[in-house]
Amino acid sequence: MVESSLHSLRNYLLITGGYWAFTLTDGAIRMLVVLYFHLLGYSPFEVAMLFLFYEFFGIVTNLVGGWLGTRIGLNLTMHIGMGLQVLALLMLAVPEGWLSVAYVMVAQALSGIAKDLNKMSAKAGVKILVPQHSDSRLFKWIALLTGSKNTLKGVGFFLGALLLEFAGFRSALLILAGGLLLVLILTTILLPRGLGKSKAKPKFTRLFSNTPAINQLSAARFFLFGARDVWFVVGLPVFLFSVLGWRFSEVGAFFAVWVIVYGIVQSCAPMILRGHHPDGKTACWWAFGLVLIPVAIALALQQGMEPNRVIIVGLIIFGAVFAINSAVHSYLIVAWSEHDKVAMNVGFYYMANAGGRLIGTVLSGWIYQTQGLVGCLWWSTAFVFMAGLLSLRLPAKMKKTDSRRVGT
């Protein structure tokens, strides 16, 4: 038993380490693209469109990725994701004249596929490693994985901005590609083969969940992450740089601190909830609590309050409450899935997540260009409110027998 626990912990740490390395490059490439192409004269909407394929192919990848992981193993899907990210980084490290909108969108498509293969594999892999009915350990491991990932993504934002300022766009991409390739080689050697591979090959027609709780949670996730990205992806960094006059490194450092705090709060969610295992009611109350924050930020900006202070304080509060929402959701989708269907359910769920990010990203550029940052915040409010309404129908408790039937 002790040997088995140590083996599970070792594999968990390997998966988490690989996820961390990938996340550093994901955060860095996002900041590099936003700031570099804004510097080249792209409008906010054009910058947003560069991420269109990144988010769209994330939807497709999450839908198919869970089925693929069940058939070929989660470690293999994770390594495919890392390889695609290395390729995407190298594609962008070409002479400036090659970087047309269409070319960058294709590179971002590969990065989107890579990101969601990696995320699905890591989170589904935790479910495989945790013994059945170990709810406390599952909540802690999921919260730690998700929270630490977002902390590292914040470091990636700062790293991307820092590399852009001191190394330049192409050199930054080459540095990131080399580091991730090294991690890919190490995890390929050390991780066991066939992790999460199902003995019974699932049919492609089983991709879509037929469990009401999973469907409701996925719909709520769509609006929750749309609410974040509708002002976070394009509107906010462009506002800080163009309106408030922040330097690249300052924008990157601020986003880094925000995502780091966000990740720390996610990791601490089990302590914040005092060991309470989240349920549908938990998700509902935290969603409606989040509604108040973008409303307060928008009203403060409309009243002419000092924007630097409003943005800094408001975004930190938004991040903390959003982190609890995300941690609760991440636990519920894994907890409500049975072991041999977890990859497919997680893939379906993160398909909805990617859909929300896609809508939020496109709207972030268009709304900021037409309505400004305040307009983005009001749209964010509407999205969060929809997430709360959808969470009203989530079950207060999922019986163990129900949990075992998820995805069947």
* 12 CB-side CA count, 13 A: 21
Six-digit token pair at 15?
Answer: 């998966």
Averaged over successive runs of 10 residues, the pLDDT of the chain (408 residues) comes to 54 75 86 82 76 78 69 76 91 84 86 81 64 61 70 80 84 91 85 57 54 82 90 82 80 79 80 74 90 93 89 88 88 70 70 84 85 91 93 71 35
Q: Helices 101-129 & 74-92, crossing angle to 10 degrees?
A: 160
Pairwise CA distance, residues 288 & 112, whole Å: 30
- Who's near 202: CB < 8 A, 6+ residues apart? 67, 70, 71, 341, 344
Six-digit token pair at 360?
Answer: 């939020």
Six-digit token pair at 380?
Answer: 């964010």
CATH 1.20.1250.20 fits 2-197+204-405, yes or no: yes
Reported pTM: 0.69
Q: Is 262 exposed, middle or buried (0-12, 13-18, 19+ CB in 10 A)?
A: buried
**Segments of 251-320 assigned E as strands:** none
pLDDT in the model for residue 194: 56
pLDDT for 273-314, tens place per residue? 775 677 778 888 999 999 999 999 999 999 989 988 898 889
Pairwise CA distance, residues 215 & 206, whole Å: 14
pLDDT for 118-127, tens place per residue? 777 776 666 6
**Which amino acid is located at 310 in the chain?**
V
